[in-house]
Amino acid sequence: MGSGIMTKMQSGIAIPSIFCGILFIVMSLPLLRGTIPMNRFYGFRISKAFTSDANGYAVNKYGAKTLILWSRVMIVSGVLFLFVSLSSPLLGLIPLVICTAAAIVQTLHFARRLENSNDEKPVKQGHQPDAD
């Protein structure tokens, strides 16, 4: 191994964790603020989120909070990998997978506990709600 503060292998392991952690935080901020309406492309795409706008915003806000929390863990592990030598580069993927999975599982658990709120049914694209 090299004599510098980090070797190529260490930086190759650390950089994905740090980059993904920062990317996940940046992508979570609009969801946390509630500025993204329900859509098919961005946010936590689980069935409970589509039962109503209220559920959609609640699931995305909670998911964003947990993803930000676990992304911070991912970034810290990436920084640690700059100073710790691992026997295999694949070991560097462990925090990335575990942190992402933990955020998803926590969000699914939150959504399962969420009441069914059918007061605001999602509007299908191109359809207008019936006027009562």
Is residue 36 situated within a structural domain?
yes
Give dist(CA 37, CA 5) in Å, integer: 45
Give dist(CA 74, CA 14) in Å, integer: 10
Tell me if 59 sits within 8 A of 44, measured CB to CB.
yes
What's the total number of domains in the chain? Answer: 1
Is residue 131 situated within a structural domain?
no
pLDDT at residue 86, rounded to an integer: 77
Q: Is the pLDDT confidence value at 101 over 90?
A: yes
Domain extent, residue 34, equals: 8-113
Is residue 2 situated within a structural domain?
no
pLDDT at residue 84, rounded to an integer: 82
Is residue 83 situated within a structural domain?
yes
Is residue 92 situated within a structural domain?
yes
Q: Is the pLDDT confidence value at 128 over 50?
A: no
Confidence of residue 62 (pLDDT cuts 50, 70, 90): very high
Neighbours of 3 (CB within 10 A): 5
Is residue 29 situated within a structural domain?
yes
Confidence of residue 76 (pLDDT cuts 50, 70, 90): very high
pLDDT at residue 83, rounded to an integer: 85
Residues near 86 by beta carbon (within 8 Å), at least 6 away in sequence: 9, 10, 13, 92
Is residue 123 situated within a structural domain?
no
Tell me if 92 sits within 8 A of 29, measured CB to CB.
no
The gap from C-alpha 57 to its chain's centroid, in whole angstroms, comes to 15
